[in-house]
């Protein structure tokens, strides 16, 4: 059974942090007397406000005096009212806003020693010896220089009589921790920078919208996206929208690319496609280093192919708008960890950057990150583009390789015909969806089909889960059959919530044998995992199950063991966060209102907890963290105090649909309404199936595509290893029935047999879930609950992540 004790929730899974000590647990007020400043610098990005909010609230929780340094380095140099003390209330209501509410500005003064001298004096006047810098590589480089000069700046200020001996002793060193806020994702040392996911949403929303009008008029569109020195946005947008061509600075096209591009677009029109999309990074170049602009591409298509072609330059639209759920959560996690890193720092601790590696927060030496980032540009300047791609890291390399393989017109002729029915290997792989529909499933199917065809394997699509298998709805899927699937929600193959045992394992085995299936990919939720496990455990009885089987978790509930993230959960979180924003906005002008919102998830509280962190909720009630009437009463009192004493105007309470059989959403709504009389009014909302709908987020499109790519490679390796002399497949080892999932820093194939031991089948839950010990305490700390303990999450890492096999 699941361990529900609060001790288990707050103290399990300790992690080594930078100092080499076991995960340090910090209590409220443990850093009383310290001061820290937070500022944003350089270009703004969505999610910065979430990071600022987390720094303020975690610092306040620990007892620090926290200061806003407004307008970036300029505010540090000018001082005065630009350095103001922050409070819990002052950081309220900013999380859902784009940009940075404390301002950002380029500062020429700080580049001179005289400017840095003024900045040091202003910080010393406030006793600020800890700085959190949120910005790009230029901002972080400036902060590190400031730290290196600190002692000499103190000496000069002391010699000129601008500070006292006591001030010099109290501020003898300064600690600096950085967070990378940049939509370009151009900083080496992290998988994702704050703002990148939101910018991708803007781009993909635009491409999806443009595609409808382009198809109507059979037009070609050339979109220019940001990325003067880095092609990440263009590359991932191309992968997520099935763009026909992408031009990025790290991988310029060969000589004669113009002819190749035109030939491909022309061939696509001959195949019946009605639109063409070309994505160009603003820093795109050719192999000789000459710029390639969107207008150049447009003129090429117009002149050579006579297509009606339009250019759309997205510009600062990509920077604007509110942050996605991913960026809000990323900012919150990084902001909290940045404060812990400062509290842990010693005078000789080097400046670090809080980064993301897979799903693991890491602390990376700042100087190494900056040097690695600069080396990318140096490689491109030398036209060593292969090295530039390598330096971008494993994630960038995987994105590029995946796009190049998927964007071909058809599979290699020697491997397979375009219909997918005549393939060189003579073997068949099958794919099916099981469980409730979730966004990202179609992207995974498309990727699986195309990668399998390029390797010479026929792919059979099993429609409507086991219904299709048993009643003959099993058909080969060709290369063009899956065109346009990436951007569509739901399940185009069809799906049902059922398990294999329900239909009869003997019947399922008989049909797998009838169709001569050599490998099976199952994409779905808990039923998909359970079905694969049932078939794997029946191998001794049915030979048809002795084939490689891979499960890709795909459910908004994120309740499948063996993975930190399931496909579809990110899209659902964005839907919930967006709806909660609108719900709260509906009370604008209405004083003191609290909303009770019920979300899906079965018995798994992932959606409620993560949406609570992304939406700035005051509490999130879930099954895994038991609560009683006393807890509810305390939360009402706590919320009343925030509203009356701090002036908070709106409250948000989230409840998982199966959090408690007796404390229902109606009960909580009625209780808060009654107990809040005179302090606030209360409204109830049940979100329902809106959480399952919509189009897939960029994360789910990209994640599904790359998960399926890995599944194909793994499955085919197992098929080839276990093919007998007579050509039959005999694969019965436990590593041939696996689940592919993200586990902290890596994508891992975990045997289903091992996952059985960590599964609560009654409640359809993993017995351990990473977010319980990390996000639950963080959610309550952000909501001003002071009776929590928070455990440091980050580990010390190097800049080079190439050994990690993450997505």
Contact 449/458 with Cβ under 8 angstroms? no
Q: Each residue of 240-250: b (16+ CB within 10 Å) or e?
A: bbbbbbbbbbb
At residue 597, φ and ψ (nearest 5 deg) are -120, 125
The closest of 799, 807, 793 to 341, measured between CA atoms, is 793
> Tokens for 770?
């990473």
CA-based nearest residue to 400, from 584, 246, 179, 607: 246
Q: How far apart are CA 692 and CA 605, in angstroms?
A: 16
For 111, how many CA atoms within 13 A lie in the half-sphere containing its CB?
4
- The two tokens of residue 1 are 């059974």
How many whole angstroms separate alpha carbon 571 and alpha carbon 573?
A: 5
Q: How far apart are CA 703 and CA 553, in angstroms?
A: 11
CA 539 to chain centre: 37
Is residue 78 within 8 Å of residue 215, measured between CB atoms? no
Instruction: List beta partners, residue 130.
Output: 175
Q: Where are the beta strands (DSSP E) in 65-154?
A: 65-69, 83-85, 130-135
What residues contact residue 466 under an 8 Å CB cut-off, 6+ apart? 432, 434, 496, 498, 500, 502, 503, 508, 531
Note whether 99 and 48 are within 8 A (CB).
yes
Write out the two tokens for 251. 């991988």
Active site includes 184? yes
Question: Which H/E stretch holds residue 731?
Answer: none
Q: Give the neighbor-by-neighbor strand order of the sheet with 352-357.
A: 83-85, 65-69, 35-40, 130-135, 175-180, 352-357, 360-365, 795-796
Are 313 and 184 within 8 A, CB to CB? no
Q: Is the dihedral of CA 137, 179, 358, 226 positive or negative?
A: negative
Candidates 44, 78, 137, 184; catalytic one: 184
Phi and psi for 789 in degrees, rounded to 5? Answer: -120, 140
Residue 506, helix vs strand vs coil: helix
Distance CA 392, CA 353 (A): 17
User: What is the CB neighbour count within 10 angstroms for residue 306?
Assistant: 8
Contact 480, 466 (CB under 8 A): no
Measured CA to CA, the distance from residue 688 to residue 717 in angstroms comes to 41
Q: Let me know how many helices (H) and strands (E) the chain has, helices first.
A: 26, 27
Going through 388-524 in order, the beta strands assigned E by DSSP cover 428-434, 458-462, 474-476, 517-524
Radius of gyration of the chain (CA): 27
Give residue for tokens 């992932």. 606
d(CA 293, CA 298): 9
Q: Give the three-state DSSP class for 408.
A: coil
Nearest to 571 by CA among 719, 404, 722, 443: 443
Query: Cβ distance 83 to 75 under 8 Å?
Result: yes
Q: How far apart are CA 635 and CA 672, in angstroms?
A: 9
Within a 10 A sphere around the Cβ of 33, how many other Cβ atoms? 9
Residue burial 534-571, b: 16+ Cβ < 10 Å; e: rest: bbbbbbeebebbbbbbbbbbbbbbbbbbbbbbbbbbbb
**Which residues are annotated as catalytic?**
184
């Amino acid at each position: 059974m699941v361990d529900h004790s609060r001790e288990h929730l707050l103290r399990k899974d300790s992690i080594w942090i930078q100092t080499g000590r076991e995960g340090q647990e910090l209590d409220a007020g443990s850093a009383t007397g310290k001061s820290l400043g937070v500022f944003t610098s350089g270009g703004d990005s969505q999610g910065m406000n979430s990071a600022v909010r987390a720094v303020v609230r975690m610092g306040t929780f620990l007892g620090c005096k926290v200061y806003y340094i407004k307008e970036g380095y300029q505010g540090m140099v000018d001082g005065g009212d630009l350095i103001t003390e922050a409070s819990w209330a002052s950081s309220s209501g900013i999380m859902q806003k784009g940009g940075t509410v404390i301002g950002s500005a380029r500062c020429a003064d700080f580049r001179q020693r005289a400017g840095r001298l003024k900045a040091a004096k202003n910080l010393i006047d406030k006793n600020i010896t800890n700085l959190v810098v949120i910005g790009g590589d230029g901002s972080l480089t400036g902060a590190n220089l400031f730290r290196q000069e600190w002692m000499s700046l103190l000496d000069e200020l002391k010699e000129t009589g601008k500070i006292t001996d006591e001030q010099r002793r109290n501020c003898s060193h300064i600690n600096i921790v950085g967070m990378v806020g940049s939509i370009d994702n151009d900083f080496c040392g992290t998988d994702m920078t704050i703002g990148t996911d939101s910018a991708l949403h803007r781009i993909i929303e635009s491409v999806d919208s443009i595609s409808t009008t382009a198809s109507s008029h059979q037009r070609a569109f050339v979109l220019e996206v940001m990325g003067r020195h880095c092609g990440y946005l263009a590359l991932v947008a191309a992968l997520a929208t099935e763009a026909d061509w992408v031009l990025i600075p790290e991988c310029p096209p060969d000589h004669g690319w113009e002819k190749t591009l035109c030939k491909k677009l022309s061939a696509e029109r001959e195949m019946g496609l009605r639109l063409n999309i070309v994505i160009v990074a603003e820093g795109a170049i050719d192999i000789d280093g000459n710029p390639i602009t969107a207008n150049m591409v447009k003129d090429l298509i117009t002149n050579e192919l006579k297509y009606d072609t339009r250019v759309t330059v997205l510009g600062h639209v990509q920077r604007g708008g509110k942050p996605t759920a991913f960026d809000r959560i990323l900012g919150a996690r990084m902001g909290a960890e940045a404060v812990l890193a400062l509290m842990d720092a010693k005078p000789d601790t080097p400046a670090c950057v809080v980064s993301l590696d897979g799903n693991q927060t890491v602390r990376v030496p700042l100087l190494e990150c900056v040097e690695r980032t600069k080396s990318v540009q140096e490689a491109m300047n030398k036209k060593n583009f292969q090295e530039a791609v390598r330096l971008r890291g494993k994630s960038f390399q995987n994105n590029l390789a995946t796009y190049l393989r998927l964007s071909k017109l058809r599979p290699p002729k020697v491997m397979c015909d375009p219909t997918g029915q005549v393939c060189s290997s003579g073997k068949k792989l099958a794919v099916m969806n099981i469980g409730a529909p979730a966004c990202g499933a179609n992207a995974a199917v498309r990727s699986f089909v195309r990668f399998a065809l390029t390797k010479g394997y026929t792919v059979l699509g099993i429609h409507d889960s086991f219904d299709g298998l048993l009643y003959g709805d099993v058909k080969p899927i060709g290369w063009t059959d899956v065109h346009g699937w990436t951007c569509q929600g739901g399940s185009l193959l069809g799906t049902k919530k059922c398990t294999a045992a329900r239909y009869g394992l003997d019947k399922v085995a008989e049909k797998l044998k009838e169709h001569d299936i050599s490998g099976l990919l199952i994409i779905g939720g808990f039923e998909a995992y359970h079905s694969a496990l049932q078939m794997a455990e029946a191998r001794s009885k049915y030979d048809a199950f002795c084939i490689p089987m891979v499960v890709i978790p795909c459910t908004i509930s994120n309740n499948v063991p063996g993975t930190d993230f399931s496909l579809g959960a990110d899209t659902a979180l964005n839907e919930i966060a967006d709806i909660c924003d609108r719900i709260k906005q509906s009370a604008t002008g209405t004083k003191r209102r609290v909303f009770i919102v019920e979300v899906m998830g079965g018995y798994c509280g992932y959606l409620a907890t993560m949406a609570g962190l992304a939406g700035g909720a005051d509490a999130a009630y879930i099954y895994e963290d038991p609560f009683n009437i006393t807890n509810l009463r305390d939360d009402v009192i706590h919320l009343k105090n925030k509203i009356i004493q701090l002036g908070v105007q709106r409250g948000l309470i989230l409840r998982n649909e199966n959090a408690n059989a007796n404390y229902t959403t109606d009960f909580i709504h009625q209780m808060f309404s009654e107990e809040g009389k005179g302090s606030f009014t209360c409204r109830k909302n049940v979100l329902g199936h809106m959480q399952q709908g919509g189009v897939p987020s960029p994360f789910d499109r990209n994640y599904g595509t790359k998960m399926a790519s890995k599944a194909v490679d793994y499955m085919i390796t197992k098929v080839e290893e276990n093919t007998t002399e007579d050509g039959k497949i005999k694969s019965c080892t436990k590593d041939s029935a696996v689940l592919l999932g993200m586990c902290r820093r890596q994508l891992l194939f975990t045997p289903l047999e091992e996952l059985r031991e960590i599964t609560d089948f009654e409640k359809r839950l993993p017995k351990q879930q990473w977010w319980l010990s990390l996000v639950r305490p963080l959610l309550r700390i952000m909501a001003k609950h002071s009776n929590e303990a928070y455990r440091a999450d980050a580990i010390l890492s190097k800049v080079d992540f190439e050994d990690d096999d993450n997505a």
